[in-house]
Structure formats: structure tokens, C-alpha cells
Homo-oligomer: A and B are copies of this chain.
Amino acid sequence: MKPNIQHVAERAQVSKATVSRVLNDNPQVKGEIKERVLRAIEELKYRPSTIARNLATNRTNTIGLILPDITNPYFPVLARGIEDAAHRLGYTLFISNTDNDPKLEQDIIYKMVEQQVGGIVLISSTLDEQTVNDLTSLQTPIVLCDRLIENKPFDAVSIDNYKAAQEAVHYLIGQGHTRIAHLAGPKNIQSAVSRRTGYVDAMLAANLEPFVSVGTFSYESGVHQMGDLIEEYGPTAIFAANDLMALGAMHEIYRRGLRVPEDISIFGCDDIAFCAMSRPMMSTISIPAYQIGVTAVQLLDDHMKGVRSGSKNVILEHKLIHRESCNGVDQK
């Protein structure tokens, strides 16, 4: 039978309260009594019940992470940042995938709230106004990743996707490209929309005609879109809204006997690990995913500890990574 605090108390010949104080490092208890309690704990191999403690304190020291799909190579790094930061601060982490399904996402949020998580890190693109308002009534702090939000009591941490996209386009233009197409992500995902807008604006500002192909952020999508693009537009450079699509595009280019960057330059976004493993290595925008995760948890922790009550949008710095997948047109 599993020992509880009462058993320890009896063995050490003290009260439950004293045992509890020892467990919580309360300095009131010391000397021989503390020794006795520690010995009793040791002898009984007693481990306090977290759930009982949770109920008594009305806190759980848990954080929930809700994301689209851990299988998408961008997210593990983010998740790792979150887990590390959470662990460091003494929280354990719940995790759940939504596949970008708004209904499922909603259910999971409520499930986690019922689990009494102290806070939630939410990576969501599908949040509509109504849902956001519902969440507002929750007392659980929420921090959004990769998505900014205004005038709502949520923290958010992200990068400036609009600016990042513009930089990518400028980089390509700087190499002499004019026929630059964009492999866009889903229309309901904010980061995808920002990148697309950044691309379009940068093109227009340079008096170039934008050409957008909308996809799904997946490798397969990149493959198909690229095929269409070659036939319908004939670009010399591609700015893809994420690396997975960029990789798919690159694959298709080679399948057709063309080469990167000699025939077509490709620029990605995210800087997933495989960008440095592909051949040619992919030039891309590096997003500090790990740091986003860490920051998100810190914001959450602040809220949970009551350090801060307002909401805050944090924008982290991205970085343009020059590798091998882009080349000037004049070098052909």
C-alpha cells in the first residue's frame, strides 16, 4: 500500500502539518524533528501526492502546449524551447496536436483548462474573433506563438513575418531576379498571410509583378505548386513561405532536369534543420524557434506569478541565412 502523509506523521511521531512543512522546506521545522520526518519519509519511500497538493493549493505547476502538428519539422524546436524553459521553472508540460482543426483546438483548450493547467502556450492560426472572446473569459493565461493579436488580454511572441518576407524578396532582387514567384501558405494562417503580403508589397515597390501560388505549407504542396509554376510562369527565383515547400519545389526542379540555383533560385523560410542538409543547402530566413518557445514560457510564468497583468507582444529577430540555393541571374 502506498504511504501517505499520515503514515509518515505517525512514524515520525509528529502531525501531518509538520510533515507538510518539512516537505515544503519550511524553515520553521528543524533539528531533531526534521531529521525524524526525513528519516520516516526515507524509510517509507514516501512520495507526496501531487494531485492532493494541487487541490489544496489550487495550482498545478503544469503548462499546456497546443500546436498544429509536432511532425512538422518547425515545431519540435519550438516545443523543445518550451519544454526546457518549463522544466527549468518547475512546470511539467502537457502537449496536444490540433491539425489546425478549430473545433478540436477549442476542445483541447477547454480540456486543458479543466486539467487546471497554470497557463497555455497556443500555436494557432484558426482563432476567430468569437473564439478569442470566449478564451478571454477563461482565467487561464494564454500566450500565442507565431501570431500577433491586438487589444486582447493575451501575450504573443512572434517574428515580423512581413518584414522577413520583404528582406527575402530584396535579397532575390539584389541578385538580379525579376521573375520571382511566391509559394504561399494557407490563407487562414496569419504568418502565411503576412509573408505573402510582405512579398507582394516588396515586389510592387520594385515595380515587379508578383506571382503567387497558394499551397498548404507541406512538402507535397511545394512539389505540385512548383510544377505548375514552371509551366505557367517560368520564374527564375522562388520565395517559399516555408522550408518544406521550398524543399518540395527544389525536388520538382531537379526531377525536371533543371538545377538550383543555376536555373531557378529558391529561398525558404523557417530554417529547419534540413536546410543545412539539403544539396544545395537552402538559403532561408532563420526564425529563432527555440527562443520563441523560451520567451513564451517566460511570459506565461510572469503572468502566473502575477508579476505582470497587461498583455504584451514580443517580436524576436529573424535572420537571413545565405547558403547555396540562390544565385544571381547574371551568372548564368
Give A residues with C-beta under 8 Å from B. 2, 45, 47-52, 54-55, 60, 62, 65, 69-71, 73, 75-77, 79-80, 83-84, 87, 92-97, 110-116, 137, 139, 219, 247-248, 251, 254, 273-274, 277-279
Enumerate chain B residues within 8 angstroms of A273, measured Cβ to Cβ: 71, 73, 219
Given contacts A50-B114, A51-B116, A116-B50, contact A247 B277 (CB under 8 A): yes
Q: Which residue of B lies closest to A61 (CB)?
A: B115
- Of B54, B80, B87, B97, the contact of A84 (CB 8 Å cutoff): B97
Shortest Cβ-Cβ A-B pairs, 10 listed: A51-B54, A95-B95, A70-B76, A50-B114, A71-B76, A50-B115, A55-B55, A51-B55, A71-B80, A51-B116
Question: Which of A51, A92, A96, A247 has most chain B Cβ within 10 Å?
Answer: A51
User: Could you tell me the distance in whole angstroms from the C-beta of A143 to the nearest C-beta in chain B?
Assistant: 18
User: Could you tell me the distance in whole angstroms from the C-beta of A128 to the nearest C-beta in chain B?
Assistant: 20
Enumerate chain B residues within 8 angstroms of A95, measured Cβ to Cβ: 65, 79, 83, 93-95
Copies in the complex: 2
Cα distance, A71 to B289, chains bound together (Å): 12
Q: Which residue of B lies closest to A65 (CB)?
A: B95
Q: Which residue of B lies closest to A70 (CB)?
A: B76
Cα distance, A311 to B270, chains bound together (Å): 44
User: Could you tell me the distance in whole angstroms from the C-beta of A256 to the nearest C-beta in chain B?
Assistant: 13
Enumerate chain B residues within 8 angstroms of A79, measured Cβ to Cβ: 70, 95
Q: Which residue of B lies closest to A115 (CB)?
A: B50
Enumerate chain B residues within 8 angstroms of A139, measured Cβ to Cβ: 2
Given contact pairs A71-B80, A83-B95, A93-B95, enumerate 7 new A-B contacts (beta carbons under 8 Å).
A51-B116, A70-B70, A70-B79, A73-B76, A79-B95, A80-B97, A251-B277
- Of B50, B60, B69, B80, the contact of A70 (CB 8 Å cutoff): B80
Q: Are A49 and B114 in contact (CB under 8 A)?
A: yes
User: Could you tell me the distance in whole angstroms from the C-beta of A12 to the nearest C-beta in chain B?
Assistant: 20
Question: Which of A47, A50, A84, A87 has most chain B Cβ within 10 Å?
Answer: A50
